[in-house]
Structure 1
Amino acid sequence: MSDQDKPKRSEETKKLTPWQLANQEYLKQHPRETEIPPESKPDEDLISDEEIPENTENQSEKLQDKEEIKEEIPERKIKGPVNGSFLERLPNIRQERNKRLYRRSTILITIFIIPALILLYYVSPLSRLSEVTIDGNEEIPSEEIIEKLDFSIGYNLWSQYIHREEYVARLKKQELRIEDASVHFDGINRFVVNVKEYEEVAYLEHDNQYSPILANGRVIPTNIEKAQGSLPILEGFTGPKRILAVLKQYNKLSEEVRQGVSQIKYAPTEENKSLLQIFMNDGNQVLVPIPEMAQKMNYYPQVVEEMNAQEMKGIVDMEAGIYSYSYPEETSSDNTEQSITENTTEETSSSLEID
């Protein structure tokens, strides 16, 4: 050791603390303890110069990068629990507990309130039928419809509403004019019955009395002394099927011909069971089968024009072709009991061929 190094060493020793000086003295006395045991030596000291690979520079760069990354990562400060302290979480726990309690209480209250309300409604007057009104009726009085419906005022309305179709069926069976009816709620505990009546399409004459005929062919068993309006008057019909067949043909006639019809009589013969005797307002009569009524009656204005030219009143025979002839001398045109099968009547020169 040179003399120059000794002053430097002395200066350095002066800067050491008493503990460091004592440590140096100990190391001098025990030099073997300063050696690093083979197991604790780093891997770099154990690797010989010959075993160092050629890419030592790359490895050193990677080690430097790792050290820089470690330096950049800030040290995690030790804090309290991740979820915060118990005192900090206490308000949230209380709030969550209150929410759960509120939901449970709401469900329980709902479960008890709904049956209570239903029971209260069932025993209250609101659950009982208080009134029945009729709408859409023209011919039948409302009181008569209510009586035949037989709804029970003051009794449970829901049981009656569920069986409303039975009430309507009973009404339609008892009242022939009713085509259909429907029951609806009108307010909280009232019913309104919408009624649809069959239309009157004709009158049936019997014993100088008239009974209305409905659109379904049924005859209302009521008698009036005089037919009302311009509806056709039928005579001699007994079943609804034949009446419907005649009305179907009648509705196909032109307006001019329909206005000229006064009365339609069913007058079958042995040869033709569907023959009609039609009395016209101009004093003439027409013989025509029911199935051919709409087709042949539309030729009536032409035939009448020829008959008027000859100043003749009589019978227009459309049973087979179309022919017209005057009334027999002993038979008046106003006599409705005239025999329509008499073969002694002379035909007039007026005739019309059907295309």
Structure 2
Amino acid sequence: MSKKNIVSIEDRIPKLKQARKKKANRRLIFYLSIFFLLIAVIVYLQSPLSHVKTVQVNGNTFVHDTEIIEQSNLMNDTNIWTINEKEIKQAISKNPVIKSVSIDKKLPWTVKINIKEYKKVGYINKDNQYYPILGNGQLLDSLEQKTVNGDAPLLLNFTDKQVLQSMTDELKKLPSSILNIISEIHWVPSDENKKKIVLYMNDGYIVDGTIREFAEKMEVYPSIVAQLKPESKGIIHIGVGAYFESFDKKESAEEEIEDETEG
């Protein structure tokens, strides 16, 4: 064997020592990094850096931001890591306007409160003032208006609270595209039907119906109107079956229309 291929132990020892030293240094750096990271985390948790500085409220229309923040009890000295989300949700959800609440934490010090309110389904007239009413039957007495916005119907003569609740339960099921074209809803109970209602539509038609299964029957209103001549005006009956009664005919002639609620 050639002497050039023989490496003595004396030559290898320095290289082994150097490799071990590099490995030990890397290990030391790793442990020191972990140590200082833990120190930084502890300092952050114990310092004002981890305190809530910003609270953002999203999705609210009827309730002001400041009221929701007060209900959340989030203070400037509240540690973002000790926030009890369940308690905050329960506190805010006590407001009858609010349907659901979710909490998002955005480090280092921002909390987002996401609100979902009950749908506004109409207006009630009291003493020449108009008050929004929600899908859960809650009347917003603090939000009086001199006029209605046209984004929900005016509910008239609903003197029975249970009947009003039934009406709002149905209205909240309607898509906004239909809800927005209803101008007025009148409760006109009769001996035969205590839940009889008459609707005045923004497109000139009148709808004769009942609160029972109203949302389901009313969803086909656009397709019913599409079957009528544009110049036709009259009453669309959506009780048992569906038919159109024209204003122009002196006689009680009725134009049958296809009832899409069947089948």
TM-score calculated relative to the size of structure 1: 0.53
After superposition, what is the alpha-carbon deviation per residue over 1:8-65, rounded to whole angstroms, capped at 9, x for unaligned?
xxxxxxxxxxxxxxxxxxxxxxxxxxxxxxxxxxxxxxxxxxxxxxxxxxxxxxxxxx
205, 208, 212: which one pairs with 2:132? 212
Rounded Cα–Cα distance in structure 1 between residues aligned with 2:111 and 2:221: 51
Match of 2:77? 154
Match of 1:141? 64
Aligned partner of residue 88 in structure 2, secondary structure = helix
Match of 1:33? none
Cα shift at 1:305: 5.2
Cα shift at 1:283: 10
Cα shift at 1:124: 1.8
Is 1:98 the counterpart of 2:18 in the alignment? Answer: no
Q: Which amino acid aligns with 1:218?
A: G
Match of 2:89? 168
Rounded Cα–Cα distance in structure 1 between residues aligned with 2:44 and 2:179: 61
Rounded Cα–Cα distance in structure 1 between residues aligned with 2:117 and 2:194: 33
Aligned partner of residue 94 in structure 2, secondary structure = helix
Match of 2:120? 200
After superposition, what is the alpha-carbon deviation per residue over 1:107-159, rounded to whole angstroms, capped at 9, x for unaligned?
44245333322222222211222232324434432111211121132121111
Rounded Cα–Cα distance in structure 1 between residues aligned with 2:34 and 2:233: 90
Is 1:273 the counterpart of 2:197 in the alignment? Answer: no
8 Å contact kept, 2:118–2:136: no
Is 1:115 the counterpart of 2:35 in the alignment? Answer: no
Comparing 88-97 and 149-158, the one that deviates more: 88-97
8 Å contact kept, 1:135–1:195: yes
Match of 2:260? none
Q: How does 1:30-45 map to 2 (within 5 A)?
A: none
After superposition, what is the alpha-carbon deviation per residue over 1:41-96, rounded to whole angstroms, capped at 9, x for unaligned?
xxxxxxxxxxxxxxxxxxxxxxxxxxxxxxxxxxx56x59944152x234213313
Match of 1:242? 167
**Aligned positions, number:** 241
Flag structure 1 segments of 5+ consecutive residues without an equivalent.
1-75, 308-315, 326-347
After superposition, what is the alpha-carbon deviation per residue over 1:179-216, rounded to whole angstroms, capped at 9, x for unaligned?
5444231x5222233444444331123454432123x3
Match of 1:16? none
Rounded Cα–Cα distance in structure 2 between residues aligned with 1:273 and 1:105: 84
Rounded Cα–Cα distance in structure 2 between residues aligned with 1:234 and 1:177: 22
Rounded Cα–Cα distance in structure 1 between residues aligned with 2:19 and 2:202: 95
8 Å contact kept, 2:50–2:80: yes
Q: Which amino acid aligns with 1:278?
A: L
Cα 1:190/1:157, change in 2 over 3 Å:
same
Rounded Cα–Cα distance in structure 2 between residues aligned with 1:250 and 1:177: 20
Cα 1:306/1:188, change in 2 over 3 Å:
closer
Match of 2:111? 191
8 Å contact kept, 2:155–2:186: yes
Q: Which amino acid aligns with 1:245?
A: E
TM-score calculated relative to the size of structure 2: 0.68
Aligned partner of residue 183 in structure 1, secondary structure = strand
Cα 1:246/1:126, change in 2 over 3 Å:
closer
Rounded Cα–Cα distance in structure 1 between residues aligned with 2:45 and 2:176: 54
8 Å contact kept, 2:101–2:113: no
8 Å contact kept, 2:99–2:116: yes
Aligned partner of residue 93 in structure 1, secondary structure = helix
Q: Which amino acid aligns with 2:210?
A: P
Rounded Cα–Cα distance in structure 1 between residues aligned with 2:177 and 2:59: 29
Cα 1:219/1:211, change in 2 over 3 Å:
farther
Match of 1:341? none
Flag structure 2 segments of 5+ consecutive residues without an equivalent.
258-263
After superposition, what is the alpha-carbon deviation per residue over 1:304-323, rounded to whole angstroms, capped at 9, x for unaligned?
9578xxxxxxxx59467766
Aligned partner of residue 158 in structure 1, secondary structure = coil
Q: Which amino acid aligns with 1:229?
A: N
Q: Greater relative contact order: 1 or 2 (C-alpha under 8 angstroms, separation 6 or more)? A: 2
